[in-house]
């Protein structure tokens, strides 16, 4: 009856979201899947999706949880009224939050990737 759900947005479903939005969002997905689940950009993508999906108050017996995390994330992205630029801004904020957390909690060994200058990234 219940699907196999995580407590928060799972790392494994990130690649499945690639085609949900435009090229900017697809780039975010690529950045998130390139590293391990302990890299700052992957964690930032997951945090962004946790915030968008409302994963924290999700109950295991809720309709959303019974449908599964992938269905919930896909529905959230389809219904999202903002632009892909808004999603990039949400990702950038989540990345700042993850990096601040990593700096103040080195015991978690979050891999903080070096910043790439915009001219080199193009």
**What pLDDT is recorded for position 53?**
93
**What pLDDT is recorded for position 55?**
87
SS (H, E, C) 44-111: HHHHHHHHHHCCCCCCCCCHHHHHCHHHHHHHHHHHCCCCHHHHHHHHHHHHHHHHHHHHHCHHHCCE
* 39 beta partners: 111
Give the pLDDT confidence of 48-93 residue by residue, as tens digits. 999 999 988 888 777 777 888 999 999 999 999 999 999 999 999 9
**What pLDDT is recorded for position 28?**
96
| For residue 1, pLDDT beyond 90 | no
**What pLDDT is recorded for position 68?**
87
What's the pLDDT band for 115 if we cut at 50, 70, 90? low
């Amino acid at each position: 009856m219940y699907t196999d759900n995580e407590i928060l947005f799972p790392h494994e479903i990130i690649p499945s979201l690639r085609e949900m939005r435009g090229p900017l969002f697809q780039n975010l997905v690529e950045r998130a899947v390139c590293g391990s689940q302990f890299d700052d950009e992957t964690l930032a993508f997951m945090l962004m999706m946790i915030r968008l999906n409302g994963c924290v108050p999700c109950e295991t017996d809720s309709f959303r949880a019974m449908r599964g995390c992938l269905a919930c994330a896909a529905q959230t992205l389809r219904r999202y009224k903002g632009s892909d630029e808004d999603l990039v801004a949400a990702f950038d904020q989540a990345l700042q939050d993850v990096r601040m957390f990593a700096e103040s909690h080195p015991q978690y060994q979050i891999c903080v990737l070096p910043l790439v200058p915009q001219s080199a990234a193009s």
